[in-house]
Amino acid sequence: MDNMMVKIKETAEFISSKLSIKPEIAIILGSGLGPLVERIEDGKEIEYSDIPNFPLTTVEGHAGKLVSGTLGGKRVLALKGRFHYYEGYDVSQVVFPIRVLKQMGINNIIVTNAAGGINSGFKAGDIMAITDHIGLFAPSALRGRNIQELGPRFPDMTNAYDKGAVALFQKVGTELGIEIKKGIYAYAKGPMYETPAEILALRVMGADAVGMSTVPEVVTAVHSGMKVMGISCITNMAAGILNQPLNHEEVMKTAKDVENNFVSVVLKFVQNWDI
């Protein structure tokens, strides 16, 4: 068997053997959005450092553990902390957890992130349902020999973000009195924030928000046949839009301010997601 398949299976079996439930939804929690795990009932935790073949997180605000249990009546597995390309990982390491989740039998995934707002109708603190992405400028998550067992060589990305899930997310937001924006997420390699010229270019291309994650994971999830819901927390307006420099503290602070709304809407979404 291919060495990568051996690792994926070994890790999936390890995690499954430690859990008391079989998760049906995976949730990847972005910068500062980790507090959702506190709402998971009967939560069982596994540190990334205890998981064979898992990389370790390095960035502030990403703790690095799996939490599984019940959320909104569904069996979930949350990943608190993710791997970014800018940390120095190979993109195959960045998406390794997605391969493992699918191998565990999980077919539904919620991918969250902190992002800079490009759409001038957005403001810091908005929650955006991702309808599509632009990922042309970074190495592909699927580069290299294709393992047919994982998915097709040339996967279709036309419906990468599930339309029904986006509609449901907006509906539960409305019911809770939380406005949900919709838009296209552009992937930037980071770790530097973009220049104002880059943001103008991305705007012309149709992007509504920009961030340093999510696209490799979503491409991999779609490749493996998973249903994807993507959510951005607009933590700041992107470079050059407001007359002020960007910083990580601002991103973390806004993510914290949005925490309650984010948790409520994701919880209700999970409750109602027909899987």
Running DSSP on this structure, what letter comes out for residue 69?
A: E
* Cβ proximity to ligand HPA, 77 vs 251, nearer residue: 251
Is 87 a catalytic site residue?
A: yes
Contact assessment for residue 263 and residue 39, using Cβ atoms and an 8 Å cutoff: yes
> CB within 8 A of 3, min separation 6: which ones?
none
Can you spell out the DSSP letters for 198-250? HHHHHHHHT-SEEESSSHHHHHHHHHTT-EEEEEEEEEEEPTTTSSS---HHH
Binding mask 104-133 vs ligand HPA (x if CB under 6 A, - otherwise)? ----------xxx-----------------
Tell which positions 130-149 bind ligand HPA, by CB under 6 A. none
Q: How far apart are CA 124 and CA 117, in angstroms?
A: 7
Output 162 or 198, the one with its CB closest to ligand HPA: 198
Q: Which residues of 69-97 are buried (b: 16+ CB within 10 A; e: fewer)?
A: bbbbebbbbbbbbbbbbbbebebbbbbbb
- Tell me whether residue 217 is one of the annotated catalytic residues: no
Considering only the stretches 7-15, 73-81, 187-195, 261-269, report the one whose residues sit in contact with ligand HPA under the rule CB under 6 A: 187-195
Residues numbered 190-229 forming contacts with ligand HPA, rule: CB under 6 A: 193-194, 210-212
Q: Pattern 231-270, binding to ligand HPA, x per CB under 6 A?
A: ----xx-x-------x----x-------------------
State the catalytic residue, choosing from 104, 114, 124, 238. 114
Residue 104 or residue 238: which is nearer to ligand HPA going by CB? 238
Q: Does 15 bind ligand HPA (CB under 6 A)?
A: no
For residue 176, which of 70, 274, 233, 260 has the smallest C-alpha distance? Answer: 260
Q: What is the contact surface with ligand HPA in residues (CB under 6 A)?
A: 114-116, 188, 193-194, 210-212, 235-236, 238, 246, 251
